[in-house]
Structure 1
Amino acid sequence: MHYEILGCQAPDTPTLVLSSGLGGSARFWAPQLPALAEHYRVVVYDQAGTGRSPARLAEGYTIANMAGELLEMLDELGIQQCHFMGHALGGLVGLELALQRPNLLQSMVLINAWSSPNPHSDRCFAVRKNLLRDSGPAAYVQAQALFLYPADWIAAHSAQLAEDEAHALAHFPETDNLLRRIAALQAFNVEDRLEQIKTPTLLIANRDDMLVPWQRSQHLADKLYSAQLALLDYGGHASSVSDVEPFNRVVLDYLARQA
């Protein structure tokens, strides 16, 4: 998989691994990198079958497979301990890491994540799959902002969105890969294993998230052994992009406390 290591490289610098959502691209974290790179050795990567990590994903591909691929990459880099931050699908990867190799993780930040399916998100992903199958990648990409951002932010950032959408179309993954990634996150269910996860965890959720109800993060905060919830009022599903400064402040404050 394609990866980049950014920020401070001093031997005693803590490592922070970032895992993006359904799009899978390291580019998602651009608004966070300047702030994080001042304090951490930051590892970003394009997930298998997306962006600069070409692969043909197998039928029955799972979140556990995604976590296994990331573990292989971290082993190759010699990373034995790290902090982890994941958005949506990336948050599911974090939960799997905590189950597969708990000693790796010093802490987790999980953004608009979940531990089992819910009817609202399933409805949203069904719409997205239908757009992809019936109308093609251009319609899928055009609709994406509606699921990610608040309406007023979309209206105020049309030029940025046009640029982002052109980039997304130019680097659009194979349709089968994307459908298998969606199927993986729809099938994800670790409800009966949450009590096994002891990693200190910050859950970040947004009240105005129209893709994943914020109560799914509240549920995780209630069930995980060492977790707390930061509930943000604004930003939609991707407040790391649409409301950068408050988001970064919450993350940096939490990670500093873990240190």
Structure 2
Amino acid sequence: MSRRPAHVTSGPYAPPVPRTTLTVTSADGARLYAEIHGPEHAPAVVLAHGWTCSTAFWAPVVRDLAADHKVVVYDQRGHGRSPAPGPAGHSTHALADDLVAVLEAALEPGERAVVGGHSMGGMTIMAAAERPQLRERAAAALLCSTGSADLPAESRVFALRSPQGRRLAHRLMLRSRAPLGPVSPLAKRALKYATMGAGSTAEQIEACARIVHACPAGVRARWGNVLAGLELTGGVSKLEMPTAVIAGTADRLTPLVHARRMASVLPDCRGLTELPGLGHMTPIEDPGAVSGRLRALVQDHLRVPGTDAAAAPAEAPGGKRQKKEKTA
């Protein structure tokens, strides 16, 4: 019996066809699959996906932005179409290497971008905070549904009363090598509970389940082990570019406490957007809110090549408005 594709193939959550693809070589020789969407000379946005996901996770955000932005997405090492590295190749240092390699390969000389990261992708940006290449190439950043430290202690997938028990249960979940199996109704219910808000649609759940279940168990466990010991608080405090934060209020994997903590220590926080009732998968649960924040960062902070002006404002077509915004 043939396996189902690693993502949905029709509808708003199906990945659009890229304008071009790239193979990017990172500092340790790791090869990364990358895509470029949208007009060649438009303002650039570079997006890094999260744990167990792939470029396909950004599909509805890319569909929105690519109408008038150059959008770069890439598969984190071991995910999607990027081969898995050896055991030594799993670290936040490696994630930072990969991001700056993508920026150098996908952007033209002197070109800058707004960078956005979801979950582990946000952690990637934090890990690269002190890299000269990031400071030169990134005009602003969006940290989406992510955290900088203490993930096992703060997660709420397992609602245990004991802090020690909760920490242990989440550490075991992150490090688990158990296969997820087929995308069954039971598997989708479990995924929705752990990662999505109560109002997520069947289409959204199917899209997320296809992507997450396609991630190899070994890759999931090795990166989960990195996340279990994550400590990037220093990276947040050194992310000196204009940075916005967005998170769902019903996120069990990286609860709102993380977003509020990051907003309080970022040197140049440009607002915390809280999305009521949404879970961890915000770029699929409300792509209009995510693309809207990225558009605002482009408009406010990104200079278009060959001009002295910031990018012209653009409305997100069909996108939802931000639900609630707090400025830190």
Deviations 1:2-29 (A, max 9, x none): 111001112xx22211101102400000
Tell me which residue corresponds to 1:146.
193
2:132 counterpart of 1:85: no
Tell me which residue corresponds to 1:221.
263
Deviations 1:180-227 (A, max 9, x none): 111122222122344322111000011111111212111111111101
Compared with structure 1, are the counterparts of its residues 162 and 202 closer, same or farther at alpha carbon in structure 2 (3 Å cutoff)?
A: closer
**Larger helix fraction of residues:** 1
The AA in structure 2 aligned to 1:8 is P
Unaligned runs of 5+ residues in structure 2 are: 1-31, 156-166, 302-309, 311-328
2:125 counterpart of 1:94: yes
**Contact 1:32–1:248 (CA under 8 A) maintained in structure 2:** yes
Instruction: Using the aligned pairs only, state the percent identity.
Output: 24
Compared with structure 1, are the counterparts of its residues 172 and 114 closer, same or farther at alpha carbon in structure 2 (3 Å cutoff)?
A: closer
Tell me which residue corresponds to 1:50.
79
Flag the structure with larger Rg: 2
The AA in structure 2 aligned to 1:91 is G
**Contact 2:53–2:215 (CA under 8 A) maintained in structure 1:** no
Tell me which residue corresponds to 1:110.
143
Identify the match of residue 296 of structure 2 among 225, 243, 253.
253
The AA in structure 2 aligned to 1:46 is D
After TM superposition, the structure 1 stretch with the greater mean CA deviation from structure 2, 29-38 or 234-243, is 234-243
Give the TM-score taking structure 2 as reference length.
0.68
- Supply the distance in 1 between the matched residues of 2:194 and 2:273 (Cα, whole angstroms): 21
The AA in structure 1 aligned to 2:247 is A
Identify the match of residue 126 of structure 1 among 154, 159, 171.
171
- Supply the distance in 2 between the matched residues of 1:111 and 1:123 (Cα, whole angstroms): 25
- Supply the distance in 2 between the matched residues of 1:165 and 1:195 (Cα, whole angstroms): 34
The AA in structure 1 aligned to 2:272 is L
Unaligned runs of 5+ residues in structure 1 are: none
- Supply the distance in 2 between the matched residues of 1:225 and 1:68 (Cα, whole angstroms): 23
Identify the match of residue 54 of structure 2 among 25, 46, 49.
25
Give the TM-score taking structure 1 as reference length.
0.85
Tell me which residue corresponds to 1:209.
251
**Contact 2:91–2:226 (CA under 8 A) maintained in structure 1:** yes
The AA in structure 1 aligned to 2:122 is G
**Contact 1:56–1:177 (CA under 8 A) maintained in structure 2:** no
1:114 Cα deviation after fit: 1.6
**Contact 2:113–2:140 (CA under 8 A) maintained in structure 1:** yes
- Supply the distance in 2 between the matched residues of 1:139 and 1:212 (Cα, whole angstroms): 25
Identify the match of residue 165 of structure 1 among 180, 187, 209.
209
**Contact 2:244–2:272 (CA under 8 A) maintained in structure 1:** yes
**Contact 2:52–2:215 (CA under 8 A) maintained in structure 1:** no
The AA in structure 1 aligned to 2:148 is S
Number of equivalent positions? 250
After TM superposition, the structure 1 stretch with the greater mean CA deviation from structure 2, 110-119 or 141-150, is 141-150
1:148 Cα deviation after fit: 1.7
2:90 counterpart of 1:61: yes
